[in-house]
Amino acid sequence: MSVDSLLQTPAPLAGPLTLIHGKDEAPGWWRSAVIYQVYPRSFRDLNGDGIGDIAGITAELPQLADLDVDAVWLSPFYRSPQRDAGYDVSDYCDVDPLFGTLTDFDVMIAEANRLHLRVIVDLVPNHCSDQHVAFQAALAATPGSPERDMFIFRDGSGASGEEPPNNWASHFGGPAWTRIMEPDGTPGQWYLHLFDSSQPDFNWDNQGVHEEFERVLRFWLDRGVSGFRVDVAHALVKAPGLPDWGGRADGGSSDGYPGHEAPMFGQPALHAIYRKWRQILESYGPDRILCAEANVDPLPRLADWVRQDEMHQAFNFPYLHAGLDVHRLRGVITDSLLTLDAVGAPSTWVLSNHDVVRHASRFGYNGPGPRDGDGIGVWDHQPDEALGRRRAAAASMFMLGLPGGAYLYQGEELGLPDGIDIPDGQRQDPTFARTGGARLGRDGCRVPLPWSAEEPHNGFGNGQEPWLPQPESFKQLARDAQAASPTSHLNLYRRMLSTRRELRLGAGSLSWLERYCTGSSLAYLNGSTLVVMNLNHEPLDLPAGRVLLRSGSATPASDQPVADLGHRLGSNETVWMKINFEDAES
Ligand code: NOJ
Ligand code: CA
- Please give the number of the atom of ligand 1 that sits closest to the Cα of 126: 11
pLDDT of residue 295: 80
Fill in the amino acid letter for 62: P
CA of 98, nearest ligand number:
2
DSSP E strands, 423-465: none
> How far is 163 from 176, CA to CA, in rounded Å?
12
What are the distances in angstroms from CA 91 to CA 42, 216, 479?
21, 10, 34
At 475-512, the pLDDT tens digits run 999 999 999 999 999 999 999 999 999 999 999 999 99
Second CATH level (architecture) for the domain 6-22+509-578: Sandwich (2.60)
Distance between Cα 40 and ligand 2 center (Å): 9
User: Hey, whose CA ends up nearest to atom 4 of ligand 1?
Assistant: 355
Nearest CA to ligand 1 atom 2: 231
Domain ranges of the chain: 6-22+509-578, 29-128+206-483, 133-192
- CB distance 329 to 296 below 8 Å: no
Tell me the average confidence (pLDDT) per consecutive run of 10 residues in the chain, 586 residues long.
Answer: 38 76 95 98 98 98 98 98 98 98 98 98 98 98 98 97 96 94 96 97 98 98 98 96 79 52 90 98 98 85 92 96 96 96 97 98 91 89 96 98 98 98 96 93 98 98 98 98 95 98 98 96 97 96 91 70 71 92 50
For residue 41, which ligand has an atom nearest its CA? 2
CA angle at residue 10 from 7 to 12, to 5 degrees? 120
Catalytic residues: 231, 293
Neighbours of ion ligand 2 (CB under 5 A): 45, 47, 49, 51, 53
CATH number of 29-128+206-483: 3.20.20.80
Please tell me the residue having the least CA distance from ligand 1 atom 3: 355
Candidate CATH numbers 1.10.3720.10, 3.90.400.10, 3.30.70.260, 3.40.50.300; the one for domain 133-192: 3.90.400.10
**pLDDT one-digit tens code per residue, 410-468:** 999 999 999 999 999 999 999 999 999 999 999 999 999 999 999 999 999 999 999 99
Ligand 1 centroid from CA 84, angstroms: 8
Query: In the 8-state DSSP scheme, what is residue 258?
Result: P
Q: Are strands 187-192 and 153-154 parallel, antiparallel or unpaired?
A: antiparallel
Instruction: Report the nearest atom of ligand 1 relative to the CA of 194.
Output: 10
- Which ligand approaches the C-alpha of residue 37 most closely? 1
Pocket of ligand 1 (CB under 6 A): 84, 87, 124, 195, 231-232, 293, 354-355
**CA of residue 357 to ligand 1 center, whole Å:** 14
pLDDT of residue 393: 98
What is the whole-number distance in angstroms between the Cα of residue 249 and the centre of ligand 1?
18
Round to whole Å and give the CA distance between 522 and 512.
8
Who's near 241: CB < 8 A, 6+ residues apart? none
> Are 160 and 179 within 8 A, CB to CB?
no
Distance 449 CA to ligand 2 centre (A): 13
Q: Candidates 199, 230, 355: which one to mutate for ligand 1, based on the most atoms within 8 Å of Cβ?
A: 355
